[in-house]
């Protein structure tokens, strides 16, 4: 059926097995910092037009892999496909980011939501996974992804991005049952979505809890963590070497590393506000760790990029009993449109060169 993997460093690292070099991929590795992406986007007309066309989504997924020897591909799509398929009406305003025509503002709005059908309403995502797997031809593994229930709910309730998350926090305080109902149906949709991506060919899965860190600890433990647990426990992903690893990425959630390591996920993605060595000590080999270079490091000179890459690699090794096993190199969050592709080349080269010694 499909070709065996030619490069399985990323999957081996997630199983905490020895690797010849530390694997590396970058959040938002496909995007506007690449001139070829901007050209494809100009032709396709819009971001959603790209994401909803499996051949274009495949082309854009492969663009960074043609430039850099990355160890994984990530599906070109968005976390907001689920609420869009739930009927909220996703659209993008140039320079303002994502918005919903019909945000969720009340218990009555929540009651109207259901889990979308994965092969019809979200069929374009599964088709993209299948096309990308075919075109990758086993070069590197393909990562599928979803937003976390909390992070998706933030966009669904706020109606777009937010600075203070006033609406959803008010819902948490005033109507916690409505918010739990929203998180619950969203968690069911996330589990079905990740399972469908896995069935279509995704070889690893990542959940983005981008806004987990805006919650107080008590609220995080009530409104985000339990739903991450539900995904890690409820998502069927096979056994042993065939198991499809799940990575839970959180921004500003380093305080909960021990809890995240206890969810049953195979990997935890960490931002740059925690030392990787400390993260490794605190999780004690129970999970693989992914991260955690500050993305703005890419604004530094090539020498500065190399120095910071070595620092992150050494920090992980020192906290992991002197071994590089169980580390997937990444940024602590996504890349920005004004970053220099040449600095990305330097980053990827240094990860491979330094970790091979
Ligand atoms: O990492 C990758 O290369 C895969 C593709 C990917 C995109 N979005 C493409 C995209 C992934 C994994 C995402 C996830 C995503 N989307 C998250 C979680 C990760 C994170 O960054 O925290 C969030 C919060 C979203 C919601 C979203 N989608 C926002 C806030 C925006 C606007 C961003 C901006 O810079 O304008 C998007 C649009 C989006 N998703 C773009 C891309 C490449 C920009 C599209 C464009 O204008 O061409």
- pLDDT, one tens digit per residue, over 152-175 is 999 999 999 999 999 999 999 999
Give residue 2's pLDDT.
62
Is 284 assigned to a binding site?
Answer: no
pLDDT at 123 over 90: yes
pLDDT band at 357 (very low <50, low <70, confident <90, very high): confident
pLDDT above 70 coverage of the chain, percent? 99
pLDDT at 1 over 60: no
pLDDT at 284 over 60: yes
- How do residues 247-277 score in pLDDT, each as one tens digit? 999 999 999 999 999 999 999 999 999 999 9
Residues near ligand 1 with C-beta < 6 Å? 27-32, 41, 47, 74, 76, 78-80, 97-98, 145, 161, 208, 210, 334
Q: What is the 3-state secondary structure (H, E, C) of 27-75?
A: CCCCCCCCHHHHHHHHHHCCHHHHHCCHHHHHHHHHHHHHHCCCCCEEC
Output the CA 141–ligand 1 centroid distance in Å: 20
Q: What are the φ/ψ torsions at residue 5 (nearest 5 degrees)?
A: -70, 135
Is 32 assigned to a binding site?
Answer: yes
Give residue 20's pLDDT.
97
Active site residues: 28, 32, 41, 78, 155
Output the CA 285–ligand 1 centroid distance in Å: 31
Output the CA 98–ligand 1 centroid distance in Å: 9
Q: Taking the model in full, what pTM does it have?
A: 0.97
Atom of ligand 1 nearest to the CA of 64: 3
| 62, 106 contact by CB (below 8 A) | no
How many Cβ atoms are within 10 Å of 98's Cβ, its own excluded?
19
Q: What angle do CA 38, 197, 78 make, to 5 degrees?
A: 35
Mutate to test the pocket of ligand 1, among 58, 61, 76, 79 (most ligand atoms within 8 A of CB): 79
Atom of ligand 1 nearest to the CA of 27: 1
Nearest of 224, 233, 280 to residue 252 by alpha carbon: 224
pLDDT at 207 over 70: yes
| 245, 204 contact by CB (below 8 A) | yes
Mean confidence (pLDDT) of the chain? 97
- How do residues 286-315 score in pLDDT, each as one tens digit? 999 999 999 999 999 999 999 999 999 999
Output the CA 133–ligand 1 centroid distance in Å: 21
What is the token pair recorded at 4? 């065996």
Please give the ipTM for the structure prediction.
0.93
């Amino acid at each position: 059926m499909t070709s065996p993997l030619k490069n399985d460093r990323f999957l081996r690292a997630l199983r905490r097995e020895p690797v010849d070099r530390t694997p590396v991929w970058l959040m938002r590795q496909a995007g506007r910092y690449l001139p070829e992406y901007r050209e494809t986007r100009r032709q396709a007309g819009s971001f959603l037009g790209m994401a909803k066309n499996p051949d274009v989504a495949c082309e854009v997924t492969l663009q960074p892999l043609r430039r850099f020897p990355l160890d994984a591909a990530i599906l070109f799509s968005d976390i907001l496909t689920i609420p869009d398929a739930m009927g909220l009406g996703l659209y993008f305003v140039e320079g303002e980011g994502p918005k919903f025509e019909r945000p969720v503002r009340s218990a009555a709005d929540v009651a109207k939501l259901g889990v979308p059908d994965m092969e019809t309403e979200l069929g374009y995502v599964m088709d993209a996974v299948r096309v990308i797997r075919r075109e990758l031809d086993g070069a590197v593994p393909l990562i599928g992804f979803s937003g976390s229930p909390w992070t998706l709910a933030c966009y669904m309730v706020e109606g777009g991005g937010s600075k203070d998350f006033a609406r959803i926090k008010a819902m948490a305080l005033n109507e916690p049952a409505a918010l739990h109902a929203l998180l619950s149906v969203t968690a069911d949709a996330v589990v079905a979505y990740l399972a469908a991506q896995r069935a279509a060919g995704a070889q690893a899965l990542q959940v983005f809890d981008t806004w987990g860190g805006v919650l107080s600890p008590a609220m995080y433990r009530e409104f985000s963590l339990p739903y991450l647990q539900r995904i890690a426990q409820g998502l069927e992903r096979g056994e042993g070497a065939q198991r499809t690893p799940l990575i839970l990425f959180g921004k500003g959630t380093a305080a909960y590393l021990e809890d995240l390591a206890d969810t049953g996920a195979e990997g935890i993605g960490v931002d740059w506000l925690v030392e990787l060595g400390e993260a490794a000590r605190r999780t004690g080999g129970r999970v693989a760790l992914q991260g955690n270079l500050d993305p703005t490091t890419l604004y530094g000179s090539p020498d500065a990029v190399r120095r910071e890459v070595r620092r992150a690699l050494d920090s992980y090794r020192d906290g992991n009993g002197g071994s590089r096993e169980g580390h997937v190199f990444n940024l602590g969050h996504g890349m920005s449109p004004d970053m220099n592709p040449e600095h990305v080349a330097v980053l990827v080269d240094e990860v491979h060169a330094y970790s091979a010694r």
